[in-house]
Amino acid sequence: MQVHIRYLAALRDRLGAGETTLDLPGEITDSEALIAHLTSADVAAAALAAPEIRLIRNDRIVTRPSPLDDGDRLAFCPPFTGG
């Protein structure tokens, strides 16, 4: 399965990348398994597991864990601030 991932705002800075496309092993079928997979490669990705981080899947905010499908467009978004 292939997914395209964007890291927004402070997550982009923390992970050192704005976006990536990954070919995932077959056992990764939901967002929590994806986060565990990313964390195994880069400990900084553990920030994605924080409850305040929102997951956007195919342009919609979804609850976690969320199932993944081939071709999904994902974005991890930290809380918005400002006024």
pLDDT tens, residue by residue, 51-66: 999 999 999 999 999 9
Report if residue 30 sits inside a domain: yes
Q: How many structural domains does the chain have?
A: 1
Give the model's pLDDT for residue 80.
78
Give the model's pLDDT for residue 56.
97
Report if residue 63 sits inside a domain: yes
Q: Which of the four pLDDT bands, split at 50, 70 and 90, describes residue 83?
A: low
CATH number of the domain where residue 58 is located: 3.10.20.30
pLDDT > 80? residue 82: no
- Name every residue whose Cβ is closer than 8 Å to that of residue 28 and which is 6 or more positions away in sequence: 1, 34, 37, 68
Closest CA to 2 of 80, 74, 82: 74
pLDDT > 90? residue 81: no
Q: What is the pTM of this model?
A: 0.90
**Cα end-to-end distance, the chain, whole Å:** 40
Report if residue 61 sits inside a domain: yes
List the domain range (segments joined by +) for residue 56. 2-77
Report if residue 24 sits inside a domain: yes
Report if residue 83 sits inside a domain: no
